Amino acid sequence: MKKLLGILLSAGIIACGGAMSGFTAEKACAATSAQLVTNCKSAYLMDGNSGECIYKENETARMPIASVCKVMTLTLCFEAVAAKKIAYDDIVTVSENAAGMGGSQVFLEQGGKYTVDQLIKSIIVCSANDSCVAMSETISGGEEQFVSEMNKKATELGCNDTLFANCTGLPRETQYSCAKDVAVMFNNLIGYEDYFKYSKIWLEDFVHPENRTTSMTNTNKLLRKYSACDGGKTGFTNEAGFCLAATAKKNNMRLISAVLGAGSSDDRFNSTIHMFDYGFANYKNAIVLDKNVTLNDEFAVTGGRKDSFAVRPERNSYMFLNIKDEAQITHNVIAYEVKAPVACEQVVGKIEVYKNGVLCDTVNIVAAENVEKASFGDNFRRIAGEWAL
Which residues participate in catalysis according to the annotation? Answer: 67, 70, 127
Sign of CA dihedral 13, 333, 7, 253: negative
In 226-357, DSSP assigns E strands to: 229-237, 241-250, 253-262, 283-289, 299-300, 308-309, 311-313, 317-322, 329-335, 347-355
Spatial neighbors of 279 by CB under 8 A, at least 6 apart, are 45, 47, 54, 55, 253, 255
Q: Are 380 and 343 in contact (CB under 8 A)?
A: no
What is d(CA 360, CA 330) in angstroms, rounded to the nearest whole number?
A: 10
What is d(CA 43, CA 60) in angstroms, rounded to the nearest whole number?
A: 9
Q: What residue type is assigned to position 104 of the chain?
A: S
Helices (H), 242-283: 265-282
Helices (H), 50-169: 70-82, 96-99, 116-126, 129-140, 143-156
